[in-house]
Amino acid sequence: MVTFFPMPYQGETLYSMIARYHIWSGNLNSKATLRDLFNTTSVTAGRELPANINLLINNLPDKCTLTVDEIIKKHTLYKYYTAFLPSERATYIYDLMSEGNGSLIFTALGLCNNNMKIDSSLKYCNQCVESDRNNFGEAFFHIEHQVPGALMCQKHSAELYICNKSTQIKNRQEYLNLEFSISEKDTVVATLNKQIIEHQKKFGKDIDSIINGNFRFKEMNFFREHYLKELIHKGMAESRMKIYQQDLLRDFKNYYGNDYLTLLGCNFDVDNKYNWVTAITRKHRKSFHPIQHLLIIEYLNIDIKELFNSEYMEVRKKIYKSKTDGEKISYRERWSKLGKDYPNENTSFIRKLDKATYIWLNKYDKKWLAENSPVKKTYGHSKKIDWKKRDEEILQEVKEVVEAIYNSKEKPERATVGVIGRRIGKAYLLQKYLDKMPKTKEYLQEKVESVKEYQNRRISWVRENVTINGESEWIVMREAGVR
C-alpha cells in the first residue's frame, strides 16, 4: 500500500494521475511505480481503457476516496467506447478493466476487424497547459483531448498537439508526465479550416454529452432503426429495405469532404459496396467505431441526447418460456421417424416435410437437432486439375515476387513461403498443395531465407541506407533490430 496518491483533477485521465505519481514518488523506473500501485510489474500503461483498476484501488491509502466506478467512468474513455454497445458487452468490458485481462478489452469491443486507423498518441492543448499551470501548478492530460477523432480543444477552440514522445516510446509500461514530455518538436494533430472546425464543434459537443451523461445502454440495432427513420425523412430511403445507397454515399462524402473523413480514418470509396456507411444502415451484426456513429448522427442532424433518451424502435430480446420434457420427447420422436423413413435424404428435404417440427427443435433443442440430423454429404470436384500446367503458372508468379523482394530498396522483408503466397494471393495453395508443384517447391527451397540470412540482409540494408560509414557495429545491429 502506498502512503499517498495524487487526487485527480477534473477531466484528468487515470494514465495522467499515475504519471504524476511516478514523478512525485521519485521512482527511478516504471517498474518501481507498477510495484507500488499494482503489486506487479506485468501491467501495461493503458492510455484509453486501462485494466487492473481494482488492484490499484486496493493499494491506495485508506483515506483515499477514489472508487473503481469513479475511475472507470470519469477518468477513462469507457463511456466513449461503450456508448453504442449493448449492456452485456459494456458490463463485460467494465469487468475486464476492473479485474480482468486488459489484453481482451479491444477484442471485446468488436473493433479488431474494423479497418479504421486511429491515432492513439497522447494529445494536449497549449492553452490548457498554461491554464493548468496557473491554477494547479502543473499540466496534465485531459480526457476530452484523448478521444479518438478529437482534433481541437473545445474549451479554447484551439488545435491539439501530438506529444511526440508518446509515439516514440517503446516501453509499454512507461507513463509519460505531460510536464516532462512537451517538446518544441511536437506537431499539431491537424491543420483546421473553417469547415473542419464546424464539424469538430458538433463532434466535441456530442462527446461531452456521452462522457458526462448517464445514458442507458441500447441494443445495437436500436441505432440502425433510428438512422433509417431519419434517412427516410431526408429522402435517402423509402423503407428499411430500400435505401438509395449511391445517393447517400455521395451526399455523405460531399457533406464532410475527403480531407475530414481521412483525418478521422473514415474515408471510403463510393464505388465500393463494402464500405462502412452502407454497412451501418443495414442490420448491425458487428460493432462500429464510435466515430462512425457520431459522423452518421451529425449528418442526419440527430440530437444525441434525444437519441439516447428515445424509446423509438428499441430492440428487445424475446423471452421464451421453458419447454417441458414431454414436448421435447414428442418433437424428437417426429424428427427421428422422418429420418428413418427417408434414410438417404438430406436435412433440407426432411425439413420441408415437417417445417413446424424443424423450427421448434431449431429454437429450443438445437444441439440435439444438430446431432440427430443427416450428415452433410460432400462431393469431390468433377474437373481434374492439371497440376503440371498450374506448377508452371505458379512458378512464374513466385519468381516475380521473389525478385521483387530481393531487389527492393525499401526495408527488407523476409522471403518466406507465407509472404510469397500472400503476395501472389495464393497462400493457401502453396501451403496445402506445394508437393503437387515440384518445380515451384524446388525453387522456393532454394530462395526462401533462414532467419540468419534474413538478419544478414537487414544488416547490409542498414549499412547502405541508414547508418554512416564507420559507425560502430552495435549501432548497425541496433538499427537492423538484430540482437
Compute the Cα dihedral for 92, 97, 101, 105 and give only its sign.
positive
Half-sphere exposure for 403 (CA within 13 Å, toward CB): 6
Helix (H) / strand (E) containing 107:
helix 105-109
Within a domain: 209: no
- Beta carbons within 10 angstroms of residue 319's beta carbon: 5
Q: Are residues 90 and 165 in the same domain?
A: yes
Q: Are residues 73 and 187 in the same domain?
A: yes
Q: Write down which residue in 284, 309, 334 finishes a domain.
A: 309
Distance (Å, whole) CA 54 – CA 98: 5
- Joined grid coordinates for residue 276: 462502412
Within a domain: 381: no
Within a domain: 205: no
Within a domain: 289: yes
Q: Write down which residue in 143, 160, 194 finishes a domain.
A: 194
Q: Are residues 39 and 111 in the same domain?
A: yes
Q: Are residues 239 and 360 in the same domain?
A: no
Q: Are residues 462 and 401 in the same domain?
A: no
Q: Are residues 345 and 358 in the same domain?
A: yes
Output DSSP code: residue 142.
Answer: B
Within a domain: 320: no
Within a domain: 15: yes
Helix (H) / strand (E) containing 438:
helix 438-447
Q: Shortest CA distance to 232 belongs to which of 224, 243, 223? A: 243
3-state DSSP helix/strand/coil percent for the chain, to nearest 5? 55, 5, 40
Q: Write down which residue in 194, 210, 228 finishes a domain.
A: 194
List, in sequence order, every residue forming a beta bridge with 124; answer none if it has no partner. Answer: 161
Q: Are residues 271 and 171 in the same domain?
A: no
Compute the Cα dihedral for 173, 178, 183, 185 and give only its sign.
positive
Q: Are residues 256 and 189 in the same domain?
A: no
Those residues whose C-beta lies under 8 Å from the C-beta of residue 39, and which sit 6 or more positions away, are 55, 59
Within a domain: 73: yes
The predicted pLDDT at position 151 comes to: 96
Residue 202 amino acid letter: K
10-residue mean pLDDT profile of the chain (483 residues): values are 92 97 93 94 92 94 93 97 94 92 86 70 96 96 96 96 91 93 93 94 96 90 92 85 90 94 92 91 88 96 93 45 75 89 86 82 85 72 77 91 87 86 85 88 89 84 70 68 66
Q: Are residues 177 and 91 in the same domain?
A: yes
Whether 292 and 266 have beta carbons less than 8 Å apart is answered as yes
* Domain range for 41: 1-194
Within a domain: 127: yes
Q: Are residues 33 and 136 in the same domain?
A: yes
Phi, psi of 44 (to 5 degrees): -95, 140
Cell 497462400 appears where? 427
Whether 142 and 13 have beta carbons less than 8 Å apart is answered as yes
Provide the domain count of the chain.
5
Q: Are residues 42 and 74 in the same domain?
A: yes
Q: Are residues 459 and 363 in the same domain?
A: no
